[in-house]
Amino acid sequence: MAYSSLASCLLDLEKNGMLIRIQEEVDPYLEMAAIHLRVHEAGGPALLFENVKGTKYRAASNIFGTLDRSKFIFRDTLATVQQLIDLKSNPIKALKKPFHNISAGVAAFKALPLKNPLYKPVLYEKIQISDLPLIHHWPMDGGAFVTLPQVYSEDLDNPGIMQANLGMYRIQLNGNQYIPNKEIGLHYQLHRGIGVHQTKANKKGLPLKVSCFVGGPPAHTVAAVMPLPEGISEATFAGVLGGRRFRYCYEDGFCVSTDADFVITGEVYPGENKPEGPFGDHLGYYSLTHDFPVMRVHAVYARKDAIWPFTVVGRPPQEDTSFGQLIHEITGAAIPLEIPGLKEVHAVDAAGVHPLLLAIGSERYAPYNPTQQPAELLTIANHILGTGQLSLAKFLFITAEEQHGLSTHHVQDFLQYIFERIDLRRDLHFYTNTTIDTLDYSGSGLNSGSKLVLAACGEPKRQLATELPAIFTHLEGFENPRMVMPGVVALQTKKFSTYFTAQEEMKLLGFQLHEIATDSGIIQIIVGDDSNFIAANMRNYLWVSYTRANPANDIYGVRAFTDNKHWGSDGPMIIDARIKPHHAPAVELTEDLRKQTDRFFEKGSSLYNIA
C-alpha cells in the first residue's frame, strides 16, 4: 500500500488492529517513553498519543515495533524491492526472464524523486522548536531529542537530491547551551554521509544547509537507516519501498520533503560545536556529553494535523531492532556479495550491534593442505573491517562455510562452533589504537579503542565442557562461578579500580588456573560484577561481555605469551567485563517511573491488559 502520509499508515494499522489511541493526557517528560518501553516489551501495538502535554500535536511510537508489523506496512512493495536488489546483484536474471521482471522496472520508476513546488502541505504553518512535542526519554538525558529524524544534506560539489544524503542522526532540541528556538544539536558518528558533506563545506568556509524531516510516509524513515553505498540517494530507495515517488521542493534554498509532517531547516557553520548529550542510547548505556555540530535554526514547518513519530532506544532489543531485521529481510545476500568470499554476516543486536559481529566466509586458499587454518578468512576479515559501518565491529568472530545449516543468526550455536575449533595460540588477531563506535565507551576515548578478530575453521579441537570444573570453586579473590554456555564460565570479583590493579588480579586468576588447558573444554572466562546476571541467559552474556570490554586492554589468558608481537594463550582466554570508571552508566526503566505510568494500564484505561 502506497501511503502518502504518516497519518494514512497509522489509520491502516488501526483498521487492522495494530494501533491503539491513548486519549489521556501524557507528559512528554519521561512518561511517554516509559509507556512506549512497557508496550514494546510486551510485544504490543503501535501507539498514537492524542493528548500530549505542552503541545497541540499528536505523537506516535512503536510503529515498527515488530518485524511482522514492519512487513505489513510494506506488504505491497517488499517483494519488488528484494527483486530489484537481486537484479542488481545478478543482472543476467533480467535478460533471462524479461517479462517476469517488468514489475521491477515499473517500481524502479518510483525511485525518481518528484520535484513538486505546487504541493506543499508541510508548509501549512511556521512554528517554533518549543511548539514541538519535546520528548525527554531517559532521566539523565540532556534534553528533548528527535529519535526518528531524516537528516538531509547535499554535496556542495554535486548539489541536488540524486547525490544527497538522508541519514538518521539524532537531534537534540533543547537543553545544555543551545539558544532556545535558535539552535539545536546535530550528533552524527563515524562513517556517515553527512560527514563527507560537512568536510567539503568546511574546506570552502561555507555553512552546510541541513533539513531535518520528521514523519511522512514510513518508507522515508526506513530509507534514512538503510546502509546504502556512498553516492546513492536514500530518497530513491524511499520511493521504491514506499511505492510512491519522494516529493520535495526548495524553500529559501533548503530542500523540503513535502510529504513530511515536520521540517526543521538550518545551517551548520565551520567550527561551531557545542556540548550535546547525554542520551540513553542503543547499546543500553548513556552516550555522554561531547562537542558536536550546532545547527542554527532557519525555519520550522508543520503540516495541518501533523503527527510526531518517535521511538525509545536503550538496552536491546528495542524498536530499532526491528529496523535491523527489516534491513536484513530487504537486502538478503546483497551485503555479502560486496565482499568476495563472504557468505553471511550478522551484527548481534543483543550486544548493541557494532560491538559484536559474526561472519561466515570461504577458505579456499590451500585446498591441498590437510591442516586447515584460517587464511582466506583473514583476508575477508580485513575487508569487513574496512567496509562502511561493518568497520565499527569491535569483536569479529569468523569461520568458514563447512557445516551445512550453520548460521550467524543462531548466536549460541555459532559461538560454540568457533569455540570448538579455535586455537588460542594462533587465532586471535588484535587491532590496537583504532576506531570503534562513537557510542561505545569501553575504549580509551571517544571513537578510540581496539578490535579483535577470532578466526577458526577445520575439525573440532575439543569438546566443550557443560559442567563446572571443580577448580573454579576454590579460587582466591574470585567467587560464584557459573556456567554460561558450553565452554564459557562467568566469575565475579571486586569492583574494577585501575588497569594496573586489574592486571595483577588477572595474573592471580591465571596462576590459580595454570593447569587448565583449552582441551579441558573451558575456552572463555568472563570476569564481571555479577556472575549470576551474566549466566542468567545469552542476552545478558552477550551484552556484558562484548559491550564492557576493550579487547587490547581487557583480554587476558591462562599462560598467555607474546611471540613476535603476536599475543596468544595456552589456556582459556579471560575477558574482564567489569564496569570501568570511564564507562557510561546503563539506562533502565526505574520502578518509580513504572509505577507512575501504571494508570495507563489499569482497567478502563487505553492500555488495559497490554503490559
- Total count of domains within the chain: 3
Position 191 in a domain: yes
User: Do 117 and 217 fall within a single domain?
Assistant: yes
**Does the pLDDT of residue 330 top 90, yes or no?**
no
Q: What is the pLDDT of residues 589-606, one digit of tens each?
A: 889 989 999 999 988 888
pLDDT of residue 401: 78
Q: Are residues 429 and 521 in the same domain?
A: no
Do 405 and 280 fall into the same domain? no
Grid cell in block for residue 2: 502506497
Asked if pLDDT for residue 394 goes beyond 50, the answer is yes
Q: Is residue 96 part of a domain?
A: no
Q: Which residue has the higher pLDDT, 403 or 31?
A: 31
Whole-angstrom Cα Rg for the chain:
25
User: Which residues form the domain of 543?
Assistant: 470-576
- Residue-wise pLDDT tens digits, 67-84: 999 999 999 998 888 777
Indicate if 358 and 488 belong to the same structural domain.
no
CATH number for position 486: 3.40.1670
Whether the predicted pLDDT of 91 surpasses 90: no
- Identify whether residues 497 and 533 lie together within a single domain: yes
Nearest to 311 by CA among 484, 205, 168: 168
Residue 591 inside a domain? The answer is no
Residues 24 and 53 in one domain: yes
401 and 346 within one domain: yes
Tell me the CATH number at 345.
3.40.1670.10
pLDDT, position 371: 57
Specify whether 413 is located in the same domain as 306: no
Cα three-residue angle 235-236-238, rounded to 5 degrees? 65
280-291 confidence digits (pLDDT tens):
998 999 999 999
DSSP string of 43-77, one letter each residue? T--EEEES-BTT-S-EEEE-TT-SHHHHHHHTTTT
* 439 has a pLDDT exceeding 90: no
Q: Helix, strand, or coil here: 575?
A: strand
pLDDT confidence bin for 253, thresholds 50/70/90: very high
- Does one domain contain both 489 and 450? no
- Asked, for residue 130, whether it belongs to a domain, the answer is yes
> Does residue 281 form part of some domain?
yes
pLDDT tens digits along 490-509: 999 999 999 999 999 999 99
What band does 227 get if pLDDT is binned at 50, 70 and 90?
A: confident
Q: Which residues pair with 292 in a beta bridge?
A: 274
CATH for 291: 2.30.110.10
The contacts of residue 505 (CB under 8 Å, 6+ apart) are 477, 493
Global pTM value = 0.90
* Count, residues in the chain: 611
412 belongs to a structural domain: yes
% of the chain exceeding 70 in pLDDT: 92
Instruction: Give yes or no: residues 276 and 357 share one domain.
Output: no
- Average pLDDT of span 402-429: 92
Q: In Å, what is the CA distance from 71 to each residue of 67, 103, 334, 387?
A: 6, 19, 19, 28
More confident residue, 450 or 110: 450
Q: Is 597 part of a structural domain of the chain?
A: no
Whether residues 276 and 143 share a domain: the answer is: yes
What's the distance, Cα to Cα, between the start and end of the chain in Å?
30
| 211: Cβ contacts below 8 Å, ≥ 6 apart | 151, 152, 153, 254, 255, 256, 257, 263, 264, 265
Q: Are 358 and 304 in a shared domain?
A: no
Mean per-residue pLDDT, 165-176: 94
At residue 96, the pLDDT reads: 42
Cα separation, 501 vs 527, in Å, equals 14
The lowest-confidence range among 144-148, 155-159, 194-198 is 194-198
How far is residue 493's CA from residue 575's CA, in Å, rounded to a whole number? 13
Question: Residue 199 in contact with residue 191, Cβ under 8 Å?
Answer: no
The answer to whether residue 80 is domain-embedded is no
